[in-house]
Amino acid sequence: MYVGIDAGGTRTRLVLADAEGALLGAAEAGPGNYQVMGAEGLTRVIGELLEEVGGAAEMPEVLCAGVAGAGRLPEQEKLRSALEENKLARTVRIVTDGRAALEGAHRGEPGVVCIAGTGSIVIGRNAEGVEARAGGWGPILGDEGSAHGLVMQAIRSALRAVDGSGPDTSLQAELLPALGLGDWHEIIEAIYGGDFTRDRIADACPVVFTAARNKDEVALHVVQKGLSALGAQIGAVARRLELESPVTVACTGGVFEEPDILEEPLVAGADDMELKFVEPQFEARFGALLLAMSSSFAEASDSAMSTWA
């Protein structure tokens, strides 16, 4: 048996399959970010999910987990050791959630995946198996074009409108109820007092897109600037990997539920590099499953993969 896991900031999703890739079970739980849960907490969550799908009765051959917040080798090794010590699989492989998303999006073929949910990152791989990434530096240092990043930029713009140092914008009124605020002066305690989590801020992102669709110039600028920055990261990864034009890009994450107003700034940010946007073939949990199977030279059949959804 093989296990694929996508442990993200919002939820942890697990699939169990046999040596042909036929699904034996699926389950999900709450957040799985390593920086929040730690090795011990994630081991507990994964163990409970395995028990739920029946994977605890017979030890799986390989477990691969794509984990948010586990981008460094020491973190990956600590989690791998914890999972193996708890005998959750004979072999454990830990990768980033972005790496699992890349594998699933292109089914192991060359290409780029642009992920923009609560956070953001761009990862690619070429035909020689060389990988490159851009972004993924978190909410303080990066996360351009993410839901959190867009809302924070929108908040800054709204506050400039409040001060009179920036142009008026509908965001000034519309963001308040979306953030659960009665007055903009409450934002200081909410942000600096720690009441606002990343998820709570990111949840207000639809308001920014609605304002942009309604031709609010400030909201349009926020969206275009954020997505242009993501496009620049796509271009950087493609150039470093020397990917052939057009570069195949799969976009995933909650931000890309608004694709019609996003493709133009992505292309512009990529310095007008020719991009070919495609739908991800599989979700990140199935990307992790593919990585688990390839670790022991198992290969999922086409008929089995046709049932993955």
Say whether both 83 and 46 belong to one domain: yes
For residue 161, give both structure tokens.
């409108």
Say whether both 114 and 253 belong to one domain: yes
Say whether both 82 and 181 belong to one domain: no
Task: List pLDDT tens digits, range 225-253.
Answer: 999 999 999 999 999 999 998 999 999 88
In the chain the beta strands, taken as DSSP E runs, fall at: 2-7, 12-17, 23-29, 62-67, 91-96, 111-116, 120-125, 131-135, 247-252, 275-278
Compute the average pLDDT of residues 200-225.
95
Compute the average pLDDT of residues 248-266.
87
Helix (H, G, I), strand (E, B) or coil at 116: strand
Q: Quick check: bond before 110 cis, omega within 30? A: no
Judged against a pLDDT cut of 80, whether residue 57 lies above it is answered with no
Judged against a pLDDT cut of 90, whether residue 187 lies above it is answered with yes
Helix (H, G, I), strand (E, B) or coil at 125: strand
Say whether both 153 and 217 belong to one domain: yes
Task: List pLDDT tens digits, range 288-305.
Answer: 999 999 888 888 888 888
Give the range of the structural domain holding residue 72, as residue numbers without chain letter.
2-105+282-305
Q: Which residue has the higher pLDDT, 57 or 281?
A: 281
How many independent structural domains does the chain possess?
A: 2
Judged against a pLDDT cut of 90, whether residue 91 lies above it is answered with yes
Domain containing 49 — which CATH number? 3.30.420.40
Say whether both 192 and 252 belong to one domain: yes
CA distance 102 to 108: 8
CA distance 183 to 90: 55
CA distance 241 to 127: 9
Q: Which residue has the higher pLDDT, 295 or 93?
A: 93
Please tell me the predicted confidence (pLDDT) of residue 253: 86
Per-residue pLDDT band at 10 (split at 50, 70, 90): confident
Please tell me the predicted confidence (pLDDT) of residue 137: 86
Q: Which residue has the higher pLDDT, 80 or 262?
A: 80
Q: Identify any residues that bridge with 105 across adjacent strands, giving them in sequence order.
A: none
Task: List pLDDT tens digits, range 117-130.
Answer: 888 999 999 999 99
CA distances from 296 to 2, 131, 275, 299 (A): 10, 21, 34, 9
End-to-end CA distance of the chain: 19
Compute the average pLDDT of residues 84-93.
93
Q: Are the C-beta atoms of 287 and 103 separated by less than 8 Å? A: yes
- For residue 101, give the nearest of 82, 125, 73 by alpha carbon: 125
Say whether both 93 and 156 belong to one domain: no
Per-residue pLDDT band at 152 (split at 50, 70, 90): very high
Share of the chain above pLDDT 90, in %: 72
Per-residue pLDDT band at 88 (split at 50, 70, 90): very high
Say whether both 25 and 118 belong to one domain: no
Say whether both 156 and 61 belong to one domain: no
Say whether both 297 and 232 belong to one domain: no
Q: Are the C-beta atoms of 2 and 92 separated by less than 8 Å? A: no
Compute the average pLDDT of residues 254-282.
88
Say whether both 155 and 270 belong to one domain: yes
Say whether both 286 and 203 belong to one domain: no
Computed over every residue of the chain, the mean pLDDT equals 91
Compute the average pLDDT of residues 8-14.
87
Please tell me the predicted confidence (pLDDT) of residue 282: 93
Say whether both 118 and 262 belong to one domain: yes
Q: Are the C-beta atoms of 29 and 42 separated by less than 8 Å? A: no
6-10, 17-21, 155-159, 175-179: least confident range: 6-10
Please tell me the predicted confidence (pLDDT) of residue 55: 66
